[in-house]
């Protein structure tokens, strides 16, 4: 009987405290954006070479995870797996929340957010950034439609075709996010065809990790225990996605190492680049990949708490990897004339320094808080708690 309770029926004593905390952090993020707007980007750690700072790390993570979390819904609706279909509404809500938070950070980090109207009224079809504007808005609309087909009985027959549209759209959207970097030839780290598929696989891992954290919290609030068969299935899927992400990251760096012009950059990122090798090997490879895999696949572990810790570590590793890719990729100078040293009074040919400022971090945290607020209020008002049958098959 406990499994039949809806989240809206639960009078959680933590709800108003969580909403208050989320609102305060969101307000701090907006205040940070106003401070940057008033004083200019000179108050941040960004400069003429590193123009995408810590806010972009937060924003790209949320946008990529917003696409990946829909993988749970796609497995249910597109591939007719009931265990995952029961989680489709929650996955849709998380996707909208994460995308809203990420886009808020992006807009407020423009330097002149008021000029967003220029991009809206002067569409440039040759720009990958313009493509992504359509993709982001399209995903929000499609996911809202998808939730309608899931939660309105009259619309249930349409859930599979709309789910197919969402599945295709999110793959295209994540490809577009990867193309932002793959088409950027003005930085030594980018302009690689490996990046779009790498972003797709990263979205699977990061989105599922975010979903598992929210699902664990919801079940804990409602004094429910997740079916062990479902727990086993989802943790193994997370492990598979982490391994796949490791493969593509390795392929990206090995591809760069194959080209002589990229060798110096790879040495910088992987060996002697200061904070970047530490974040890559310690933050992403060790804490964000190896340790989660140990927690997931070790015979004595793999329990609910271990999977929760593995999910948190996976997200921490995601931030480390994005910091190395986005910040480290901009810090290394572009090799305009291979084999020659380039110097000038402007600083060409020099490695750029970057230290995130408090307003940047607060702005990024504000975006996370917005996603947190949307999710918290959404699961409180509507019935997003997954309902599982008492008997769940061990294999699909």
CATH number at residue 360: 1.20.1630.10
Tell me how crowded residue 340 is: count the other CB atoms within 10 A of its CB.
8
User: pTM surpassing 0.95?
Assistant: no
Structural domains counted in the chain: 1
* 117 domain residue, yes or no: yes
Buried residues in 94-103 as b, exposed as e (16+ CB within 10 A) = bbbbbbbbbb
Write out the E strands in the chain.
none
Indicate if the pLDDT at residue 278 is higher than 60: yes
Give the pLDDT band of residue 83 (cuts 50, 70, 90).
Answer: confident
Contact 276, 320 (CB under 8 A): no
Instruction: Identify whether 252 is part of a domain.
Output: yes
| Per-residue model confidence (pLDDT) at position 355 | 92
On whether residue 80 sits in a domain, the answer given is yes
In whole angstroms, give the CA distance from residue 24 to residue 134: 31
More confident residue, 382 or 238: 238
Domain that residue 99 falls in: 2-381
Contact 213, 311 (CB under 8 A): yes
Q: Which two tokens stand for residue 365?
A: 């945290």
**pLDDT reading at 391 higher than 70:** no
Give the span between the Cα atoms of 334 and 187, in whole angstroms: 5
Q: What is the pLDDT of residues 199-226, one digit of tens each?
A: 999 999 999 999 999 988 888 877 777 7
DSSP-assigned letters across all residues of 217-267: HHHHHTT----HHHHHHHHHHHHHHHHHHHHHHHHHHHHHHHSHHHHHHHH
Name the average pLDDT for the chain.
Answer: 85
Please state, in angstroms and rounded to a whole number, the distance separating the CA atoms of residues 67 and 51.
25
Euclidean distance between CA atoms 294 and 301, whole angstroms? 8
Q: Which two tokens stand for residue 358?
A: 């408090």
Q: Which residues contact 258 (CB under 8 A, 6 or more apart)?
A: none
Rounded CA gap, 29 and 364, in Å? 7
Query: Which band of pLDDT confidence, cut at 50, 70 and 90, is reported for residue 362?
Result: very high
Rounded mean pLDDT, 256-275: 88
**For a pLDDT cut of 90, what percent of the chain falls above it?**
43
Confidence check: pLDDT of 56 > 90: yes
Q: What is the pLDDT of residue 13?
A: 67
pLDDT for the residue numbered 292: 95
Cα separation of the two ends of the chain: 25
Helix axes 70-77, 128-151, angle to 10 degrees: 50
* 3-class secondary structure, 355: coil
Q: Is 50 exceeded by the pLDDT of residue 6? A: no
Side-chain-side CA neighbours of 233 within 13 Å: the count stands at 16
Looking at residue 396, its pLDDT comes to 46
Does residue 388 sit within a domain?
A: no
Judge whether 208 lies within some domain: yes
Q: Averaged over 144-157, what is the pLDDT?
A: 86
How many Cβ atoms sit within 10 Å of the Cβ of residue 260? 9
Is residue 328 over pLDDT 80? yes
Q: Is residue 393 part of a domain?
A: no
**Centroid of chain to Cα 309:** 17
d(CA 102, CA 96): 10
């Amino acid at each position: 009987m406990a499994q039949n309770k809806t989240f809206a029926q639960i009078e959680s004593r933590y709800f108003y405290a969580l909403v208050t905390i989320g609102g305060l952090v969101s307000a701090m993020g907006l205040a940070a954006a106003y401070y940057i707007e008033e004083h200019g980007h000179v108050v941040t750690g960004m400069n003429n070479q590193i123009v995408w700072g810590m806010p972009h790390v937060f924003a790209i993570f949320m946008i990529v995870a917003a696409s990946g979390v829909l993988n749970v819904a796609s497995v249910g609706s597109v591939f007719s797996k009931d265990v995952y279909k029961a989680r489709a509404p929650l996955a849709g809500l998380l996707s909208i929340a994460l995308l809203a938070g990420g886009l808020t950070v992006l807009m407020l980090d423009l330097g002149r957010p008021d000029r967003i109207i220029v991009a809206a009224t002067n569409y440039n079809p040759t720009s990958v950034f313009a493509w992504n504007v359509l993709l982001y808005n399209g995903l929000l609309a499609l996911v809202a439609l998808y939730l309608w087909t899931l939660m309105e009985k009259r619309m249930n027959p349409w859930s599979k075709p709309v789910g197919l549209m969402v599945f295709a759209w999110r793959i295209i959207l994540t490809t577009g996010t990867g193309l932002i970097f793959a088409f950027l030839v003005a930085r030594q780290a980018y302009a690689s065809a490996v990046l779009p598929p790498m972003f797709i696989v990263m979205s699977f891992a990061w989105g599922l990790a975010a979903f598992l954290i929210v699902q664990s919290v919801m079940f804990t609030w409602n004094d429910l225990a997740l079916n062990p068969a479902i727990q086993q299935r989802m943790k193994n899927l997370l492990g598979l996605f982490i391994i796949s992400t490791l493969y593509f990251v390795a392929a990206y760096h090995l591809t760069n190492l194959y080209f002589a012009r990229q060798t110096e950059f790879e040495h910088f990122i992987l060996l002697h680049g200061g904070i970047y090798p530490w974040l890559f090997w310690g933050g992403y490879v060790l804490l964000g990949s190896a340790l989660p895999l140990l927690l997931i696949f070790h015979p004595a572990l793999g329990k609910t708490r271990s999977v929760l810790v593995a999910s948190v570590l996976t997200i921490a590793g995601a931030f480390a990897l994005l910091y190395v890719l986005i910040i480290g990729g901009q810090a290394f100078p572009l090799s305009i004339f291979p084999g020659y040293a380039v110097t000038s009074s402007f600083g060409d040919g020099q490695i750029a320094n970057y230290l995130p400022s408090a307003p940047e971090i607060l702005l990024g945290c504000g975006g996370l808080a917005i996603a947190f607020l949307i999710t918290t209020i959404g699961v409180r008002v509507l019935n997003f708690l997954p309902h599982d049958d008492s008997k769940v098959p061990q294999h699909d």
